[in-house]
A and B are shown apart, each in its own frame.
Chain A
Amino acid sequence: MIRQSRTDLPVLGPLPPVLSYGGLSSAARREGLQLRPIHGAVLFLGLVLACGVAEAQTEPGQPGIVATILKWTPLLASGFALNIAISFIAMAIGTAAGFLLGIGQISLVKPLRKSAWFVTQFFRNSPWLVLLFYCMLLLPFEIVVGRTVIPLPDWIKATIGLALPVMANVSELVRGAIQSIPYGQWESAESLAFTRRQTLWMIILPQCIRRMTPPWMNLYAILTVATPLASIVGVNEAMTLTQDALAAEGRNELLVPMYFYLLAWFFIYCYPIARATQALERRTAVK
């Protein structure tokens, strides 16, 4: 059973994995947070409705709402591509660093274990936006390694800023998964003369992967919906470009449909991930 130790400060994540409820009935697992195509349909309906209302308000002589939205779509798509790129890179960095940190948290070396715990808790409990500001303002605009100069554009800094909380959450995931493996596994491996390192890599971690995948995907979805935060610190992602487009048009009736349109982009991207996560969760819960 995955449980949190008392010293733990909890995660930012939305729902923790269903496993963490003591006696969750199978009915609850099945019906947990089901996303059905109907939800997408409702959203789409909302979008159509918003466009319709706005269309009615359009003054004669101005281009229609739908036409205007379509006009800005390529720009928005390029911004959204940056959101996705940021989410991929931040997830990769955060996962790699968080994995090491998580292993550090179960180290037998006390100073290492304590500092890994501290780093994890610190970044897990700081607001994402504050970490983002932290990286934007305190990272240099370029790094000089010997002769080579590596530039650090804003979007890279933002990516690093988002990777930090991901790292902390992955670290907790890894620690939680390792500690959820029954102690008998360690004991029997030890009685077969496996070293600690061999036990960890060959016996414990392979068993963790399946448990970690659904919450890890969930974390990715959280990260993706957090990427528009980068707009606050001036990265030209979808949110910023939407605001630019709105400013260029200067039409009040465009506000609702445009923001709705942007929300729909994220919804359409995150919806399949959420569904896949649920499917995986159900599969792991059965075994």
Chain B
Amino acid sequence: MDLQPVWDWFRWLYEATGIKLTIFYDDFDRSRFFNGFLTSVRLMGVCLVASVAIGIVGAWLQGARSHLVRLVVQAYIQFFRNTPPLVQLYFFYFALGSYLRITNENGLSVPLVGNFAWAAICLSFYAGAFNVEIFRAGIEAVPRQTIEAAESLGYSRLKAYLYVILPLAFRISLPALNNNLVNLIKTTTISYAIAVPEMLYVANQIWSDEVNVPEMMNVLLVVYVSLVGLLVWAMSRWERAMRVPGWGVS
């Protein structure tokens, strides 16, 4: 599909009104903004999946018999919940990153983990800490009687967990999970601070070059609100598809 008329229209818009949306009619700006957008979406995707995985594993570990395991999981949750995500990111990237270096074939010391990867790790652990709590609250909300009923029917503990508790707990957790994932999407912007070329970072470059701060700001806000809207829409469809009459949040 040829989009040239669209780009031309934006150029005309600039000439007619002074609204300078170079990301549409300037090839260079368009491609770097698009790449920034893709980087953001990739970062979001990786973190969504990883944080949910951390949440499930963490909730499972919290039910462990070992006091030490539970303590470690609790400490992890409280540490990430009560400290600034930005400082966490700096801590990972600058502090830990200064140790994790290898020497490449040219004999130069290079970081083992790149900035995109650090952002992904840090944000996943940050959102994952909240997800652990969300899943655990869901598991605990399953009435004791339901579990007893399953066990009285001869289910083993593991099978009762798999076939009865988890499906119910997951439904209870969905609204809270939904909120947290939206929060995660918005928090990905902090990777700007370690120069991950995501949308905010790229937008900053563009408005520095083109001096079109208000335009780029509004573009950013619209794109982020749309991305959040998309996630909310997808999650609510999912939630509706999984709804069981008379169970969970009405």
Q: Do A and B bind each other?
A: yes
Chain A interface residues toward B at CB < 8 A: 1, 3-4, 6, 9-16, 18, 20-25, 27-28, 31-36, 38-39, 42-43, 122, 125-130, 133-134, 137-138, 221, 225-229, 231-232, 239, 243, 252, 255-256, 258-260, 262-263, 266-267, 270-271, 274
A252 B98 Cβ-Cβ under 8 A: yes
Say yes or no: A3 contacts B83, CB within 8 Å. Answer: no
The majority secondary structure among interface residues of chain B is: helix
In the assembled complex, the CB of B8 is this many whole angstroms from the nearest CB of chain A, namely: 28
Is A271 touching B82 in the complex (CB atoms < 8 A)?
yes
Asked whether A229 and B190 contact (CB < 8 A) given A10-B179, A15-B176, the answer is: yes
Where the two chains meet, the residues of B that have a C-beta atom closer than 8 Å to any C-beta of A are 71, 74-75, 77-79, 81-88, 90-91, 94-96, 98-99, 130, 133-134, 136-138, 140-141, 143-144, 172, 175-176, 178-180, 182-183, 186-190, 192-193, 200, 204, 207, 213-214, 217, 220-221, 224-225, 228-229, 232, 236, 247-250
B140 and A255 contact, CB distance less than 8 A = no
CB distance from A31 to the nearest CB of B (A): 7
Whether B82 pairs with A270 at a CB distance below 8 angstroms is yes
**Chain A residues whose CB sits within 8 angstroms of the CB of B87 once the complex forms:** 228, 239, 259, 262-263, 266
Residues of chain A lying within 8 A (CB to CB) of residue B85? 225
Task: Provide a sorted-by-A list of 28 A–B residue pairs whose CB atoms are within 8 angstroms.
Answer: A3-B249, A3-B250, A10-B175, A11-B182, A15-B133, A15-B176, A20-B249, A22-B248, A22-B249, A24-B140, A25-B143, A33-B81, A35-B78, A35-B82, A36-B74, A38-B71, A130-B189, A133-B200, A134-B217, A138-B217, A221-B82, A239-B86, A252-B98, A263-B83, A267-B82, A271-B78, A274-B78, A274-B82
Contact of A130 among B99, B220, B236 (CB under 8 A): B220
